[in-house]
Chain A
Amino acid sequence: MSLPVKKKVITFFKKKIDENTLKQKKHFFLSFAYFIESFRAYRRIKSFVYNLIENDQYPYKKYFDFFMIIVILTSVTLLVIDVKHHIPVWIDELDLYVVTSILILEYLARMWVYSDVHKIVIDEYEESRFFDKRLSFFHLFWKIFQNKWGYISSFSAIIDLIAILPSYRSIRILRVLILFRAFKMLRYTKSLNGFIYVLKNKKFELMTLLTLVAFFIFIAGIMLYVFEGDNKNPNIHNLFDAFYWALITISTVGYGDIAPVTPEGRVETMVIVIIGIGLIAFGTSLIVASFNERMSVLREEKVIVNVSRKKSLIVICGYGLLGRLVAKGLQKEGLEFIVLDKDENLVSQAFNSGYNTICTDASQGEIFVKLGIEKRISHVLCLTSDDIQNAFIAINVKSLNEKVHVTVRCSDEEIAQKMEFAHIDQVIMPEEIAGMMSAVYAGEPVAFEVLLSIIEEKEKTQIDEITITRGSFLEHKTIGDVNFDSYRLILLGIFTSKDNGKTLGEFLFNPSDDYYLHVGDRLVCIGYSAAIANLKKRM
């Protein structure tokens, strides 16, 4: 082998080895990324941290927020005390290390949950494989950096960073930056979002206002400087003084440290004070209007947080005559429910009655998803006065989760038939109910009045149901053994158990004395409310 050829071979192998190590390294990163992707505990921890620091709907976030507020308040309090009193070194160091560590940890955690690095790695790798090109480390890190930069450069992250800085005690002026920690507190209340929302929402109007104010200050300042700047007014030394005066006057604050002395100056003042009042009124109304718009959103969020603590939830769609009565009844029964309606007036009525209420279109899926249709909602009652709207809502709900029990109010019999076709659990026709009641009344008026007064709970005697539970003293007993007379109850009948007591089976009216009671059987009894409560308690 000649020398040049040997050299070539060696360089070839060297190159090969380099590529191999690179591949191996890449391989390590990739497999790590895939490992994390499949590591469920990691994902669980990450989503927990995310919920804790970022998710307003998460019930435990408020404890985290409260903790951070306490930490910051401590830090700010120390700053204030430090102005006139000496703080022991150990407290100062505690503040320095503990608070700073907490803040740094929080900053890093926020950066961590901002995005998934391993996903970027995997995506990039898969893309490179697809296009069959080399994946360079530089490119990969650049992508990751770009992604995280999105967090680092965000407004709130910058404030977070500035809030960490005062820890460098050597630079005294930085201590004032502790106040940024106070500013940071806004993050832990929902106000910051609200405020930023207002600024964004009314950006155009606020910019117009600001330009106008700047323009008036500019003109007024120069005018006053021209009128009084030439030593006529001892307080105006330069243009800055004149602009300062213009702002203080136009904002109607009017300190009076600089006041016009010439008649021209005074006339000018009169004009800009009037302009100032106008501008302030304009600005205030802008912000108030925007906050008002925001209020409904905030209220909605609050309601969703409220109901997210409930285990089971009934949704009433429509707060008309019927919706109102049902809401009242459910409240009396102590059941958890939420009212949805499109009409703002009705919503505010429901809200004033103290119910959880959201102004929304219930025929859209979004609201039900927000309310937790998969786990929380047990029943949806469609009670608007419009049959078609009710059908729309019912089908919306059923398409999201078939298991939710849906009741639809309906006036038209043909629509009622279609509802049954759509597997709606219950169709209620107010006119039909009134019709049936009237017909019964025509036949047996007295008997009917009795029943009605029992059903409507106008008397102390009530009709109620008692389910036989496993291990209760009634299990495997016969009706004769129980002796309902001794409980002062009238046994009307029994629903036999079906599907392990989940649904009602056959109705046995006035069962004979030798009927054996089974688990899941439901007794329908009439009696004094205390007597029913007594038997229920014994169960």
Chain B
Amino acid sequence: MVDKKNIFLFGYGNFGRQLYKNLFLAGHNIKVLTATAESIVNAQEDKVDLIQINIKRNDDILSLNIDQENDMLYCAMSKTANNLFLVLTLRALFPYANIIAISNSLENTRKLKYAGANSVIDLYEATSRRVINILTKPAVTRAIDEIIYKQNNLKMAEVIIPPTSFLVGMYVKDIAFKSMGVVLVAIIDKESEHELVFTDQRLSQQLEAGETLVVVSKIDDLKIFKDLVHSETHPFVSH
């Protein structure tokens, strides 16, 4: 279902362990790298293969053969200082790599971003958000669980519109997403990559090639939808 990716996971403490578990379940290829004794014990308990490295030595990291165009680098060292240094090192060595770091406070998130992490997952921010949402928006929380976290047939996905697609030039309101079992959440412009435009504000705009559609759908419907997006002719008529 998901494109298998090569993932380098640095650190196998409490965070690293959970990360490994979830990434493994999602079916990715994972290489675990660590420097501390505690992590080695953890890894032995879980029977995970582990490569010991010294993050201060560039040679150790370079010898891992990281493909910076495609591989993902997860920094989940238990000590914030180590994690920060690791992010800095990786960014210096691989300017185009996709680096994701785990942080435990807003303060550290800022530092990790400055050090060069593409994305930072703030452990406590996410947890507190969840605790609050359980109290205030229980249905929303469960819906999100169903869609993205649980291993069921619901899925959130991104679909890029190819230049040859029949969708190019069509209006959002004229496409019967609903009848295809697809809910369109947002459209992301290729030029301003980080600017999200949500469907509710885009009903009367035309779709362009290269834009990314963020959709939620059942896995089977998603496959059909992806094929559809790639087809050049009008396979259905909107109502």
Contacts and interface: CB of A to CB of B under 8 A. Distances in A.
B200 A461 contact: yes
Given A438-B121, A439-B22, A490-B185, 19 more contacts: A321-B124, A329-B128, A329-B131, A411-B14, A434-B127, A439-B19, A440-B148, A443-B2, A444-B156, A445-B119, A447-B156, A451-B144, A451-B156, A456-B129, A461-B201, A465-B138, A489-B200, A490-B183, A526-B185
A428 interface: yes
A509 B144 CA distance: 11
B198 A409 contact: no
B104 A321 contact: yes
Contact of B130 (A428, A449, A527): A428
B155 to A, nearest CB: 8
Contact of A333 (B132, B146, B182): B132
Interface in A514-537: 522, 524, 526-528, 531
A526 B187 CA distance: 14
Contact of A379 (B127, B135, B178, B188): B135
A383 interface: yes
B157 A438 contact: no
A36 interface: no
Given A504-B138, A510-B181, A522-B139, A329 B23 contact: no
B141 to A, nearest CB: 9
5 A-B pairs with least C-beta separation? A435-B18, A325-B128, A439-B22, A465-B139, A329-B132
A428 B132 contact: no
Interface residues of B, number: 76
Contacts of B158: 444-447
B2 to A, nearest CB: 4
A283 interface: no
The listed residue with most A CB atoms (<10 A of its CB), out of B104, B121, B138, B182, is B121
Interface residues of A, number: 69
A47 B236 CA distance: 76
A494 to B, nearest CB: 9
Contacts, number: 220
A432 B18 contact: yes
A403 to B, nearest CB: 16
11 contacts: A326-B128, A431-B18, A434-B18, A435-B23, A442-B2, A442-B100, A461-B186, A485-B203, A509-B146, A509-B218, A524-B139
A433 B127 contact: yes
B233 interface: no
Given A321-B124, A444-B158, A485-B203, A526 B139 contact: no
A407 interface: yes
A67 interface: no
A438 B200 contact: no
